[in-house]
Amino acid sequence: MVGRYEAAIIERDPAGSGLYRSRLYIMPPGEEPEHQWIRRDYLPLRQQVALVHEATGGLYIKSLGSKDAKWRKEPVSDKQLATLQRIHPRLARQALEAGWTKQMASEAITYYRLRQTLLHPPE
């Protein structure tokens, strides 16, 4: 995929306070992800979600990002299958056999690109 990925992640307080914090990940092609705190403080989930919406508002394109976007229901593309094949060959085979949609493939690709960061977030 050409271009950079951007993802917002909301994390729970590891101390178990019930509060959250959020960060924005920018992943330039071929480079390690960069992250920046949207707000470093731990806040209630509603406030963190509002901060994420505010920080990423300019990135959102309704015709592409809405839940009703037509591309989401289309069959997985050859380009997505090639990316899945590089990331996890068995997953590419599963996508073909199970008849995945573009949305399902997109979510799997994003997860595998962010997996290390999600499991071992930087401090």
* Digit-coded pLDDT (tens) for 6-39: 788 899 998 999 999 998 888 777 777 788 889 8
Residue type, position 18, single letter:
G
Residue with tokens 């959250």: 20
Q: What is the pLDDT of residues 78-92, one digit of tens each?
A: 999 999 999 999 999
The model's pTM: 0.68
d(C-alpha 11, C-alpha 17), whole Å: 12
Label residue 86 exposed, middle or buried (CB < 10 Å: 0-12, 13-18, 19+). exposed
32 within 8 A of 44, measured Cβ to Cβ: no
Q: What angle do CA 37, 65, 5 make, to 5 degrees?
A: 45
